[in-house]
Amino acid sequence: MKKILVLEDEANIRSFVVINLKRAGYETIEAGDGPEALEQIQKNPDIKVALLDIMLPGDMDGFEVCRRIRATNSQIGIIMLTARTQEMDKVTGLMTGADDYVTKPFSPAELTARVDALYRRTGGEPAADSAEISQPPFLLNTRNRTLEKNGQRVKLTQVEYSIMKLFMDNPGKALSRDEILNAVWGKNYVGELKIVDVNIRRLRIKIEDNAQAPTYITTVWGYGYKWGF
């Protein structure tokens, strides 16, 4: 069963989300506040995707829940549900480790499309035959979906891993934002191109010696990015 956590304090919205996800074939685990969501994640290690509302009752907002999940789990897919449309909210959400965001109000079709796309990326992708791509100081293990730099594990989300894989499959090639979006988020992705930049900014912090002066992921102005090998 494809298991999804739905963290949303407003009962109307939560049941709307749950009904539509069930219709799309998902099993839903519900939570009404942050601590309850974290407890459910612990109890259900087979949850593949979490939908996190941002404004929640109590001390813990959706960003904090996201941070706490990511502190121990880089595999789960996280989509933030935001009522506020300010760009900063979205960006902050992504910087805390979310993979995507959906702005309320959203249509059932939009929501399921996002969940399906993320589920495909995080859920049991068959292991590849060739297990490693070595481009010192980086070593990408495609079987475990892990990255090492100088022998040290770099913790990546599934989206970040997919971007790294795309780069390391295409050394020295300038990749447009559209190409990256299509390859990583899928051709049916309905969100904004900006999500590519946000994820790359976060990836640079993790893999570059100096994220302010990147040498591995370089910017191709007005076009996209290049893996600098």
Cβ at position 49, least distance to Ca ion in Å: 19
Residues 24-49 as b or e (16 or more Cβ within 10 Å = b): bebebbbbbbbebbbebbeeeeebbb
Establish how many alpha carbons lie within 13 A of residue 195's alpha carbon, considering only the half-sphere containing its beta carbon: 26
Q: Which CB sits closer to Ca ion, 9 or 197?
A: 9
Helix axes 108-122, 11-23, angle to 10 degrees: 60
Cβ at position 204, least distance to Ca ion in Å: 32
Residues of this chain that bind Ca ion (CB under 5 A): 9, 53, 55
The residue among 201, 197, 118 whose CA lies nearest residue 158 is 118
Cβ at position 159, least distance to Ca ion in Å: 24
Tell me how far apart the terminal alpha carbons of the chain are, to the nearest angstrom.
Answer: 41
Q: Which CB sits closer to Ca ion, 65 or 117?
A: 65
Q: Which CB sits closer to Ca ion, 33 or 100?
A: 33
How many residues comprise the chain?
229
Q: What is the dihedral of CA 168, 189, 100, 172, to 10 degrees?
A: 20
Q: Which CB sits closer to Ca ion, 55 or 71?
A: 55
DSSP character at residue 128 = P
Q: Which CB sits closer to Ca ion, 80 or 156?
A: 80
Cβ at position 10, least distance to Ca ion in Å: 5
**Position with the least CB separation from Ca ion:** 55
Cβ at position 215, least distance to Ca ion in Å: 42
